[in-house]
């Protein structure tokens, strides 16, 4: 026990993974190979390979030797070291590194998210107890999307005349005719 610790106080453990020598040298080599992302702009697509995963996200080295970071909230599926990915540039940092997203842009995601909701409605005989007033955590758990994305998708389905709201439930229109 550390002398500075009070009685009955446990030592805090370092949750970071200790890297062995080859892992440290491998990561150092990545930084030596990396170049700043010049002439890259927001919205560009970048292909690369995951070289490090942290609690906050994953780092990639692109085919062009740029270093990019994909935050966990911008990942559509769990990433593994060595995995090939293609991400959309969301921000170019002053040091030339990139922030990336694997999620589609809002305009395209709205269509994909609307399809998820339609599929869910079909599986539930054309109705569901979720609407734009449902709690964000429930929407995230059930559909894997944010409340804002859910509301955009519902808006699209309502505008397209595919669903309607009845007594707080979202109901698939003409469900009997579809089946």
Domain-embedded: residue 55? yes
Domain-embedded: residue 9? no
Last residue of one domain, picked from the residues 101, 135, 154: 101
- Residues 139 and 150 sit within 8 Å (Cβ to Cβ): yes
72 and 143 both lie in a single domain: no
121-155 burial, b at 16+ Cβ within 10 Å, e below that, comes to beeeebebebeeebeeeebeeebebbbebbbbbbe
Q: Examine the pLDDT at 16 and tell me if it is beyond 60.
A: no
Measured from the Cβ of residue 170, the count of other Cβ atoms closer than 10 Å reads 23
CATH number, domain with residue 174 = 1.10.10.10
Tokens of 7: 């009685």
**Res 175: pLDDT:** 63
pLDDT in tens, 125-175: 999 999 989 999 999 889 888 899 999 999 999 999 999 999 889 999 876
Domain-embedded: residue 6? no
93 and 120 both lie in a single domain: no
pLDDT in tens, 59-103: 999 999 999 999 998 998 899 999 999 999 999 999 999 999 998
CATH number, domain with residue 71 = 2.40.50.140
Range of the domain at 84: 21-101
Rounded distance between C-alpha atoms, residue 87 and residue 44, angstroms: 8
96 and 27 both lie in a single domain: yes
Last residue of one domain, picked from the residues 101, 127, 160: 101
Query: 3-state class of 3 per DSSP?
Result: coil
**Res 25: pLDDT:** 46
Last residue of one domain, picked from the residues 68, 101, 134: 101
Q: Where are the alpha helices (DSSP H) in 2-105?
A: 21-33
Phi-psi region of 13 (alpha: psi -120 to 50; beta: other; left: phi over 0): beta
Report the number of distinct structural domains present in the chain: 2
99, 103, 104, 110: CA torsion to nearest 10 = -130
């Amino acid at each position: 026990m550390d002398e500075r610790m009070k009685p009955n106080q446990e030592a805090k453990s370092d949750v970071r993974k200790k890297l062995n020598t080859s892992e440290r040298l491998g990561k150092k080599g990545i930084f030596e190979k990396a170049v700043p992302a010049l002439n890259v702009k927001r919205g560009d697509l970048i292909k690369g390979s995951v070289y490090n995963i942290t609690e906050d996200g994953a780092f990639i080295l692109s085919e062009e030797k740029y270093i990019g970071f994909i935050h966990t909230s911008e990942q559509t599926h769990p990433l593994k070291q060595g995995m090939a990915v293609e991400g959309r540039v969301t921000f170019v940092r002053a040091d030339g590194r990139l922030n990336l997203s694997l999620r589609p842009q809002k305009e395209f995601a709205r269509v994909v998210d609307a399809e998820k909701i339609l599929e869910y409605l079909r599986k539930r005989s054309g109705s569901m107890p979720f609407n734009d007033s449902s709690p964000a955590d429930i929407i995230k758990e059930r559909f894997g999307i944010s409340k804002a994305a859910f509301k955009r998708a519902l808006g699209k389905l309502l505008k397209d005349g595919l669903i309607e709201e009845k007594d707080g439930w979202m109901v698939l229109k003409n469900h009997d005719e579809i089946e």
